[in-house]
Each structure stands twice: as C-alpha cells, then as structure tokens.
Structure 1
Amino acid sequence: MSSARERLTRLLSLVPYLDAHPGADLEETAAYFTIDSDTLIDDLQLLFVTGRPGHMPDDLIDASWEGGKVYISNAEEVSVPVRLSAEEAGVLVLALELIDTLPGLDTEAVRTAAQKLRLAAGENLRTPVEVSPIPANEELMAFLKHAIDSEAAVQIDYYVGSRDELTRRIIAPSKLVPGADWYLDAWCYAAQAPRRFALSSIRSWTPAAHPPLAVSNTQSSAREVTMTLSPAGAWLADELELRQREYFANGEPSVRIRFLVHSVDWLSRFLLCHADVITDIDDSEAVEAALTRLD
C-alpha cells in the first residue's frame, strides 16, 4: 500500500495526466503510474472530495471510469504539472554548480542543464532564481582539477592561521570538497599523511615532481598499485573514491582497484587494517613492510 506522501505525489501527477489524455484506458493508466487498477480507482474516488475550499459540488473534481475509460472535469486549477518552488530550484541549480567542479565529468552537459533549470524555474515561478556557489579562485580551481585528473604533484605556499605562518609543501591532490570554504584533500609529503587544505589559505601554486619517500631505510617514489578486494571489502573502493575499478565474478563478486600510492608506510598500514578483505596485491614491498610491523 502506498504511503500518504506517495499517494499525494501520484495524485498531483495523475490529474494533469488525465486532463491531457481524456478517455485514457484505465488499465494502461494504472500501468503508467506503476499501480494496479484497484489502486487507481481508489485514487479516482478520492478526487470526488478534492477541489477548491467551499466543498460545494461545483468546487470538487468530477471523475468517471465507466467502460474502462477515464474522464475528469472541473480540475482546471490542479491540472497544471507541479512546479518547483524557488528554494527547490535554487538548491538544484547550486548542486549542479558544485557538480561542475568535480573532475572527470562532462562539464558542458552539467552547465547546460543548470542553465535550462535556471531559465525554466524563473519563467514558471516568475521569480528570479539566484544561487551563489562557494567563491573560489577560478585559476586555482582549474589548476587543481588538472592535477587531480593527471595525478600530478603540486607545490603550494599554504598559510597556517593558528601559527601565523606561511608554509611551503609538496602535495598530491586527490579530491575537491565543498563546505564553508572549498577544501582540497591531498597527500602531504612533509607530513607523510593525508591532509585537507582550505583553498582560501593557498597563497601560490605551481607544478612539482613527486619527491622520493624514505620508508624503512629505502627510497620509494609514488607508484601505481593494483589490489583485489573480496565482496565484504568492496566498500573500500568507494571509501577511497577511485575511478579505476573493475568488477568480476570469481565464485563471488569481487572488485579490482588501481590507484596511486605515495607512501609504502601508509600502504603497509592500510594492508594491516584491511587484511581480511584484501585477496591480492601486486606490491611486494608493501607486503614485506606490513609483515615487519607484525614482528
């Protein structure tokens, strides 16, 4: 049985549909709304007590379905398809603006959809739809998107307000995150750990090379790692937000992921934390480092 909310949503769509299709077949209409004919008849009976305030006969919608053909009348005021409110349209436009900043998407399609929604909502509501995406340096955003797509390292001068200090770091950007400010998730070579940077605190930026990493008295540069996860560990592919993944069936569905690693130390700890769901990995150095940690 439909919830009250689902039924209301269906009725708001049903009236304009029947107004545009007089004599619609009862069974076909029920199938169109993915309900059975008995449920549709219940909806039509409810329309008899629906209409304008006053509840006089001329105020209520009239519906008939004799002979399997559905007709409605006196429904002009509710026969227009439901429109988005200004707030709903604004939220959708803002969401599209934020999606436009993400890497690996067809930005032209996203921008076109946002523009069409903005125009349609403004015309239908007769209310300007104004949204203000989080401000950010467009040149910096474009630079970071390219670095994320190409998995490149960058050098930034980053202001740390708590210490009133301008620091210089080499990082490997992985993701842009909207919030009160725009943030950048990246591997920080100085901290040898992932860090989140506020874009408003980045004072300058330039391309850089991935520096060598000192781990367990050995030098190791960034490398690409291929790992296979069991079905129970498939969620890690989403946690790491990887674009390169491959699902396959080998008894049970598994996922093979491929990603860039900037620290053997980090990878060895990752292996120890998730050893029960990692079925294969092509990095013997990380495996040895993990085993050393167990000794």
Structure 2
Amino acid sequence: MSSARERLTRLLSLVPYLDAHPGADLEDTAAYFGIDSDTLIDDLQLLFVTGRPGHMPDDLIDASWEGGQIFISNAEEVSVPVRLSAEEAGVLVLALELLSSLPGLDSEAVATAASKLRLAAGENLRTAVDVSPIDVDEELLSAMRQAVDDESALQIEYYVASRDELTTRIIAPTNLVPGSDWYVDAWCYSAGAPRRFALGSIRTWEPADHPPLSVSESSSRSHEVTLGFDGRGAWLADELDVTEREYFDNGETSVRVRLLVHSVDWLSRFLLCHADVITEVDDTDAVSAALRRLG
C-alpha cells in the first residue's frame, strides 16, 4: 500500500510519462513505476477527478486503458515533468555538500550530482545558486572522520553551555551527523553510554590510548528498531528514514516501521515527544532511558 506522498509523487510523474507515450502498455507501465496493474488502474481512475479548478468535464483529465493500452487527454496542465524550485534545489545542493564530507561515500559522484543541480537551478533563476555548508573546524572534522574510520578513541575538552562548564571526556566516535551544527555520535567512556556531541562545543582534542569498544558497547551504536504508531501518529512514518513500512486497517497500530537508530539517547527523546501516538517499541534500553528522563 502506497502512502499519500508516494502516490502523489507517482501521479506527478505518471501523467507526463503517458502524455509522451500514447498507447503505452498497461503492464509495461506498471512495471516501469514499480507497481502492479491494479494499483496503476487505481491511479488512472483518480485522474478522472484531477484537473483545473472548476471541476467541469472539460477541466478534468480523461484516461482510458481498454485493450491494455493507455491513452490520456486534457492533461496539458500537468503534462510537463515536475521541476525543482530554486529553494528545493538549494536544499538538495546543501544536503549533497554535507554528504560529501561524510566518511565512506563516493565524493566524486556526490560532487557531480551537486554540480548538475546547481546548473539546473541556475538556468531557472538565470543565476547560480550559492549554498554554503555548515561552518566547521576542518581539522577537527578530519580528526573525527579519521577516528570513525579507525574505530579509535579521542580525549576531548567539551563545553557544556547549560552548566557553563568545560569537561574532559574520552570518546569513541561512531558516526558524523550534519545539522544546525556538525555532530558526532560516540561512545562516552566517562558516562558509560552513547552520547551526541556538537563539534562547535569541542575546544581541544587529541588521540587517546584506550582499548577498542567492547561487544556490549559496540552493540549500542547503530541498530534497527521497530516502532508502531496509531492513526494520529501515522504521519511520522513518512517523516522518518525507515527501512520497512507496514500499514494495518484494524487494531491499535495503524503503521509499523523499521528504522536504523544510531543513538539510544535520540530514541529515548523521540519516545517521550511522541509517547501518546506510539503503540509499540522493541528497544528496552531506549524505553528505560525515557523513563529515567521522566524520573
């Protein structure tokens, strides 16, 4: 079952495709869009109530698929392939710039994609799109990236603004995360738990002579979690970067998802924020952490 967002995206691509391929085979078109023929027919039936404001017969798209060949008409309003706005292209370029700084990625491929997006948006604007990534100490970012790759530890001096305190910690970085600042997910030996640190609050850093993470510590890094949401929270399934999604017509759970979680701390805060719509979770550590926050 497709989400509303997935279906809208497919419909916006389906009309230009059919307009450019009159008489397209029903089965071949379904395969092209990665759906079955029944789902495609549902989409075509939806086109009958789609068109310009006014809702008169001449305002609506007409579609036929008798004999297994698809023809559409009166679809000029949406027959042009969807193009990114300057703002959307800018956001994507920024995301690609950030991705290029992450370890383990093909930076050349990312740079090529960003260049193409800049060109496309520049043509629309008749000017180039200038997107600047997050300011960061490049030497610190490089040290964190190297520590992630080597699975090594660092000793850092970390400023805690809420206490106006400079703390010394030994951490084992596991993942770099871009946001309003650059962040690093790490096992904090001082706290004995995973933590997320803002690079902008790290004052000094140096290699630390510390043994590798134990099996129990390593297992608390990235792991998959199952979450269930009721009907009120079903929208969260579209907001999260999930690996699996399953919808239900009956019962308390409306949608169940699987997602990769890099931080128990993040998950515990997510559970507290959305506790009223979460119906199931299979991470006992995150539940315990959330309960401790309440206490």
TM-score by length of 2: 0.57
CA distances 1:163-213 after superposition (whole Å, capped 9, x unpaired) = 666565554433334444323344556x36355443223333343433xxx
Q: What 5-or-longer segments of structure 1 have no aligned partner?
A: 211-221, 228-235, 243-272, 275-295
Offset of residue 6 of structure 1:
5.3
CA distances 1:35-71 after superposition (whole Å, capped 9, x unpaired) = 326x655654554554334556654444444544333
* CA distance in 2 between partners of 1:182 and 1:109 (Å): 22
Tell me which residue corresponds to 2:183: 183
**Contact 1:85 1:125 (8 Å CA) reproduced:** no
- Residues paired across the two proteins, number: 223
Offset of residue 145 of structure 1:
0.7
Tell me which residue corresponds to 1:147: 147
Return 48-57 or 96-105, whichever deviates more: 48-57
Q: Alignment partner for residue 221 of structure 2, among 234, 240, 244? A: 240
Tell me which residue corresponds to 1:19: 19
| 1:238–1:20 CA distance, 2 compared to 1 (3 A) | farther
Identity %: 74
| 1:125–1:41 CA distance, 2 compared to 1 (3 A) | farther
Offset of residue 146 of structure 1:
0.9
**Contact 2:48 2:60 (8 Å CA) reproduced:** yes
* CA distance in 2 between partners of 1:47 and 1:205 (Å): 59
Tell me which residue corresponds to 1:76: 76
Root mean square deviation of aligned Cα: 4.0
Tell me which residue corresponds to 1:100: 100
| 1:21–1:147 CA distance, 2 compared to 1 (3 A) | same
Tell me which residue corresponds to 2:29: 29
TM-score by length of 1: 0.57
**Contact 2:186 2:196 (8 Å CA) reproduced:** yes
**Contact 2:18 2:24 (8 Å CA) reproduced:** yes
* CA distance in 1 between partners of 2:126 and 2:78 (Å): 18
Tell me which residue corresponds to 1:281: none
**Contact 2:152 2:212 (8 Å CA) reproduced:** no
Report which of the two structures shows the higher radius of gyration computed on alpha carbons: 1
* CA distance in 2 between partners of 1:186 and 1:7 (Å): 38
| 1:136–1:51 CA distance, 2 compared to 1 (3 A) | same
**Contact 1:62 1:74 (8 Å CA) reproduced:** yes
Q: What 5-or-longer segments of structure 2 have no aligned partner?
A: 224-283, 286-295
